[in-house]
Amino acid sequence: MSPFDLSTFPEGEIGFAGSVRGADECGHDLFQIQLQDRPLFFGKWDSIFEPDGNSFNVEIFSFGYKDKYNAPIMHPNARAIFSITEKQKIVALINHLFNNTDKRQLLLPFSMKNANYLGQIIFGPYWIITNHT
């Protein structure tokens, strides 16, 4: 099982999408989500390390890109708008992905020697755009 294969859940499909060099010329780690009746969307995640340099959590920085190379542009026109129901499904899918030991253990930083994933998923401010309906 590749970490880049989409896994299917009742809410939709999700998988890691590798790393890309974004519009800002920096590297970004991405995941991908397919909701029913919607195109494939990409999101950016980051590792947030503790002072010990080994323990870390995950932050969801942004989501909703139709073009993965737009990560991490925060301009509203670069990302799709989601309903509150869709946001709930997306959060559930993200939890499925990062709680899947088999998938995440194949990627950095999860696969690093002495790495200690603490299991917390932090959703950053403005990580998703919703229409509040």
Q: Are the C-beta atoms of residues 16 and 31 closer than 8 Å to each other? A: yes
pLDDT of residue 4: 75
**What confidence tens digit (pLDDT) does each residue in 120-129 have?**
999 999 999 9
What percent of the chain is modeled with pLDDT above 90?
A: 44
| Spatial separation of the C-alpha atoms in residues 69 and 98, rounded to whole Å | 22
Domain ranges of the chain: 7-130
Nearest to 123 by CA among 94, 103, 96, 101: 94
- Cβ 72 vs Cβ 22: under 8 Å: yes
AA identity, residue 94: I
Q: How confident is the model at residue 41 (pLDDT cuts 50, 70, 90)?
A: very high
Give the global pTM: 0.88
Angle ∠(85,33,119) on CA atoms, nearest 5? 85
Q: How far apart are CA 55 and CA 116, in angstroms?
A: 4
